[in-house]
Amino acid sequence: MGIKELFRSAAAMNGPQAREYMAGHGSGTFTLLDVRQPKEYQDAHIPGARLIPLPQLSDRMAELPDDRPTIVYCAIGGRSEVAARFLSSRGFQEVYNLTGGIKAWRGETVASPVDKHLPFLAAHEGVERLARLARQMESGLGRLYADLAARAPDADLAALLTELAGFEAAHERSVIELAARAGVPESALEADAQARVIEGGFDPEAFVSDNAAQLGSRRGILELAMMAEAHALDLYLLFAQAVTDEASRDLLHAVADEERTHLARLGGLMERTA
């Protein structure tokens, strides 16, 4: 099985469609899931919504019934897009992403971040290939954050982006160390200079171009960064399910734990920004 077969897309609903759906279905027949941070939820949320912040979803999805429709929302639709795909890939039968998030629910006009996830790499690849890909993705996202920091409109945002680049540099070192434990030397992990993927399977040039509107604010940057980190966590966990050798599985679980840490840190930053 290839990674393309492991990922499943989720359907989309806009604000009016979500309102109509909820009005036509009784309480307890569907799940309304808010994947924002607690302070965002406290400030305002859709009545009846259950809060599970995106950084916690992989650990807490067992709390959700998988046999009923699930509508997922966030602030503007980026985090919820990743969360909806995550649930759909894990057997949830009917999952919808509320495009435009709670702002669209309120009737505001908002553009959701553009998802640039790309399916790639056969899941049966060995530990060396997986480790090379992991390092390539981490170094790519680190470079992206550094480039954005150089173009940031204010010093605070530049500092935030530099901090995010530091997260990826640290994770890249972790990948190198984990690979070494599995018998793969650092020399074998040199990234392919022609490849253009960053963490989670994004094309960085298209990602920046299509999400230019999100890159001028702290909240927008965090929204995109959480999308990227959540995609990466999803990717590593799905690979771990698919590979057959124990060394590859151990490496992927370890990298997934690193992603959880990064995603939780971004969630904390979003909480303070909110």
Q: Which residues are catalytic?
A: 74
Q: Of 168, 166, 119, give the one whose Cα is nearest residue 140.
A: 168
Pull the structure tokens for residue 271. 């909480």
CA distance linking residue 33 with residue 27, whole number of Å: 13
Q: Of 107, 87, 109, 106, give the one whose Cα is nearest residue 35.
A: 87
Helical residues (DSSP H) of the chain, grouped into ranges: 3-6, 15-24, 38-43, 57-60, 78-88, 101-105, 127-150, 155-181, 204-210, 218-242, 246-273
Pull the structure tokens for residue 42. 């406290």
Taking the CA atoms of residue 38, residue 39, residue 45 and residue 49 in that order, the dihedral angle to the nearest 10 degrees is 10
Phi/psi for 192 (5° steps) reads -70, 120
